[in-house]
Structure 1
Amino acid sequence: MNIYKVRLSVSLPWAITLFAGAWIFIFVGASFLFTDKTWFGKEGILWLFAVGAVPGLVVALAQFGLSWVEFNEISRIKRLAVKGVLRTRDDPAYYGKCIEKAERHIVFVGGTGRRFFQDFADVNYPTDEKKKLITALERGVHVKILVPTETHLSDKQLEGIRSAKQRCDELRRTFPRQFEAKVFDHPASYALVWIDHEVIVGPVFANMESKNTPVIHLASHNALAESYIANFEYEWHNAKPFTST
């Protein structure tokens, strides 16, 4: 065996400890070899080490205190199960990564669903970049779409909802056991994408383009996420079919 190709794996805490220990050993040895002062004498070796160590300890304690505050804040955020905040919903790449990891279900609730299908179920797109929803259906993921009826949409949204309905009909015919779409009889008040244990949710404002509204990314066990999931399940139970098949 060639010893020059042997690799040693040392964890960072041990590497820091060994490095610090080596330098302490070197300086202690140098103190004995290159000084005539005694260990406990006036302004001796112990006094020199204390003078050097105390400022360092003060700085280290201050740094530790700041790190502890930061650690507590990070821990609090982790307990809230907040994974991120997006300034807008217009980020297909962000949603696409979650869809790619889906194993059980994908739920969409929103205004029309037109952009959702354009971004993730465009069969005419030359690459798989905009076919992630179709790919998810092909691997057995269940998909549910929930949108409002046409009576609760603006004239500008009508074209979008009709385009979405056509796409839903196509997906329902292709994946009859995995794809479902329904409508509720009131205006949409929030936009929701629920993928397995991930929930991305945000408000729907009547005077603002939906893609420009902010959203928050939560784990599904977050209290806020659970309230939206419960609302979706209630709406879904009372909704009517959206597809013609």
Structure 2
Amino acid sequence: MHAQKVKISLSLIVLILLFLTTAILLVLYAKEVFEQKWAPIVGGMAISSLVSLVQYLISYKNYRNNEKLEDSGVLEFLSTRGDRRYYSQLINKADAQFDLLFHTSKRFFEDFCEEQPEDNLLIKKLDNNPKLIVRMLLTHRDYLESEEQPSYDISERAIKRLTDKYSERFQVKFYKHEPNHNLFITDKDAVIGPYFKNERGKYLPSIHFRSNASFVAPYKKFFDTEWNNAESFD
């Protein structure tokens, strides 16, 4: 039989210590084991500890919820995907690989893959790190609404430029179904969010996780499955 690990949360440990400290001080004060001159001090400490215990009990559920979020790898809840500065920080942190599943990716190309200095962050990463690999999955043109196809055409020109320059280090494929997820996964971070039909992806929410979080593992597997079934860019 394998020994089962028991994990005790920090918030529970603090709660137990507060309870024991309060109980000990109250018992000592009630039994008057100290000299009279120390009694007011011990009594004051007991009252302070009791107040701290009550306050901690009131907030205990919030502490536990925060610990659960930390344990699940959640770093941030994002109300929009249009925060360029936020994604710039994630790009700067990455060292090994980008796995990206987008709709048309027009905005991503415009923000991070242009030639001009203020819009070329990903290009600089690729130039400075020869081991960095980008895999990008986009919606096949046949599955886009007619009003979305001009965005596809803009992205297609950027893809041609980048695949010509970086070859196998910048790979793009197309999935043949309607978009359902937005994935931005690197060796450090993972931002995961849904796509809703007739809703602009820029304004949809996402959750930022640590890339190694257990919650992210199924999405990495999903990306690999989609990648294996997708159509390559010619």
Superposition TM-score, scaled by structure 1 size: 0.75
Q: Does 1:100 align with 2:89?
A: no
SS state at 1:156 partner = helix
Residue equivalent to 2:227: 236
Equivalent of 1:169, from 160, 165, 173? 160
Shift of 1:135: 1.1
Within 5 Å, give how 1:30-69 maps onto structure 2.
40=35, 44-66=36-58, 69=61
**By how many angstroms is 1:50 displaced?**
4.2
Q: Cα distance, 1:102 vs. partner? A: 1.2
Unaligned runs of 5+ in 1: 1-38
Aligned-partner Cα distance in 2 for 1:227–1:84: 19
The aligned runs of 1:115-130 (5 Å cut-off) are 115-123=107-115, 125=116, 127=117, 129-130=118-119
Cα distance change of structure 1 residues 64 and 173 upon mapping to structure 2, 3 Å threshold: same
Q: 1:192-223 CA deviation, whole Å, 9 max, x = no partner?
A: 11111311111111121110110111123334
Shift of 1:236: 0.5
Change (3 A) 1:59 1:238: same
Q: Which residue of 1 aligns with 2:209?
A: 218
**1:111 matched residue in structure 2:** 103
| Aligned-partner residue type, residue 54 of structure 1 | A
One of 174, 186, 204 as aligned partner of 2:177: 186
> Could you tell me how far apart the structure 2 residues matched to 1:229 and 1:91 are?
23
Q: Which position in structure 1 is the counterpart of 2:121?
A: 132
What is the aligned counterpart of 1:82 among 58, 71, 74? 74
Which structure has the larger Rg over C-alpha atoms? 1
Aligned length: 199
CA distance in 1: counterparts of 2:38 and 2:209, whole angstroms: 55
Instruction: Confirm whether residue 198 of structure 1 aligns to residue 183 of structure 2.
Output: no
Residue equivalent to 1:17:
none
SS at structure 2 position matched to 1:176? helix
CA distance in 1, matches of 2:179, 2:220: 15
**Alpha-carbon distance between aligned partners in 1 of 2:217 and 2:42, rounded to the nearest angstrom:** 56
- Percent same amino acid at aligned positions? 25
Return the alpha-carbon distance in structure 2 between the equivalents of residues 236 and 52 of structure 1.
65
How far apart are 1:54 and its partner, in Å?
3.3
User: CA offsets, 1:127-165, max 9 Å, x none?
Assistant: 3x3211101211221011111111100111101111111
Judged with a 3 Å threshold, the aligned counterparts in structure 2 of structure 1 residues 188 and 58 are, in CA distance, closer, same or farther, namely same
Change (3 A) 1:180 1:45: same
CA distance in 2, matches of 1:97, 1:168: 23
Equivalent position amino acid for 1:215 in 2:
S
SS in 2 for 1:61: helix
CA–CA distance in structure 2, aligned partners of residues 188 and 163 of structure 1: 18
Question: Partner of 1:167: helix, strand, or coil?
Answer: helix
Cα distance in 2 between the residues matched to 1:223 and 1:47: 52
Taking the TM superposition and a 5 Å limit, the aligned residue runs for 1:146-157 are: 146-157=137-148
Could you list the per-position Cα deviations for residues 155-193 of structure 1 after superposition, in whole angstroms to 9, with x for gaps in the alignment?
111011111111011001111131111111111111111
